[in-house]
Amino acid sequence: MKVIVDRSALLEAVNLVSSAVAVRTPKIQLTCIKLTATKSSSGSELTLEGTDAEVALRLSISQVDVQKPGTVLIPADKFRGIVAGEDAEPTLTIEVNAEDQCIIRGSDAHFKVFGSPVTDFPTMADFASTVSGKAEGVVKATMTHPAGSLAELVTRTLFATARETSRYAINGVLFKRDGKRLEMVATDGRRLALARAALVGGEKDAKAVQCIIPTKGLSLLQKLIKENDEPVQIVITDNQIMFSFGTAASPGRAVLISNLVEGSFPPYEDVIPKDNDKRVTFDRDVVMSAVRRAALLTNEESRGVRMAFNPKDKQLELSSRAPEQGEANIKVDLVEYTGEAVEIGFNPIFITDALKVMTDTQVVMELKATSKPGLIKSGNDFLYVVMPVSLS
């Protein structure tokens, strides 16, 4: 194999694919990136692949001159460091000899990196074969959706997933397609985020299907999105979900494959309050600023911020207190308030996490009582349930 490749394009690709490889594992091949150089009548292409056996990413770049096709399996950390370090070079030459040794050259540098046998690298599922039904596994659903809308769904839910828990199902995000509606839901047991979008080109009577996507796969998905209008083909099988980015042709410029989380997602519809009788409308940025300032005087023992809603003055008073440190008191005006006065405590991080992913400048909060969960809404496509904290 011998190629001359644009360094900046290669660095971007290496950074992305490196996110998929394993960090600590006895399996050396899972810490490597597989490079495949091909040449055809349509042009030259360099494909990079990485996997940790749970998530896999295949990314192709065309800013390359393939002088001799071939493959190599090279340690991701060393390769990434070399490509990043040669920052004065417009192009790099990569050559592989018969002993799996990868030679990387710049104008004044020469690196020899020992690779591993390419046959050791796990075989990634082929997107086109999966869609056509030629590959193993049952295809449960296929759909296409714009990258920008998909990214927004992920951003509005990923933050609410559980980080450490024995309940594996809530370590991921529920992905649900029902007719023309696409829905993503995440929870960590103390809060729940639900985002919706109308599936572009979806069939009204399409059979409902759902799966749970691990957080690592969704974090990678966010990094791969370049243009909001770029189509993303989505395929759900019995144990994986696949995303192909780019043109309608299969596969596109990048293919992301993730194993699915086993288990059943909690019945989230039961968690959403239906009988809240107090409704607040407020300016998102004003309240987010007030919550952040009130949070300055909280600590591990007194993490909550008290929020007192006054219908008479149409004001919200936020207060916090940290023993031996001090206390804060902030008042802000509300746009609207319906219902009786109420005081309730919330973890300030949980409130700001939700407000910063909302696009509407005016936000609605619905409440019932001091001990009942609050419901925050932004338009018709996002809602957020948050449990109160005790302030006694």
pLDDT in tens, 263-287: 899 999 999 999 999 999 999 999 9
**Domains of the chain, CATH where assigned:** 2-120 (3.10.150.10), 128-269 (3.10.150.10), 272-386 (3.10.150.10)
Q: What is the pLDDT of residue 168?
A: 64
Q: What is the pLDDT of residue 249?
A: 52
Q: What is the pLDDT of residue 185?
A: 97
Q: Which of 305, 380, 367 lies closest to 339 in space, CA to CA?
A: 367
Residue spans of the chain under pLDDT 70:
135-137, 164-168, 202, 247-251, 302, 392
Q: What is the pLDDT of residue 323?
A: 82
Give how far Cα 345 sits from Cα of 298, 302, 319, 391, Å. 12, 11, 9, 6
pLDDT in tens, 141-151: 999 999 999 99
Q: What is the pLDDT of residue 295?
A: 94
Q: What is the 3-state secondary structure (H, E, C) of 11-69?
A: HHHHHHHHCCCCCCCCCHHHHEEEEEEEEECCEEEEEEEEECCCEEEEEEECCEEEEEC
Q: Which spans in the chain are helix H?
A: 7-18, 76-85, 127-132, 147-158, 215-224, 284-294, 348-355
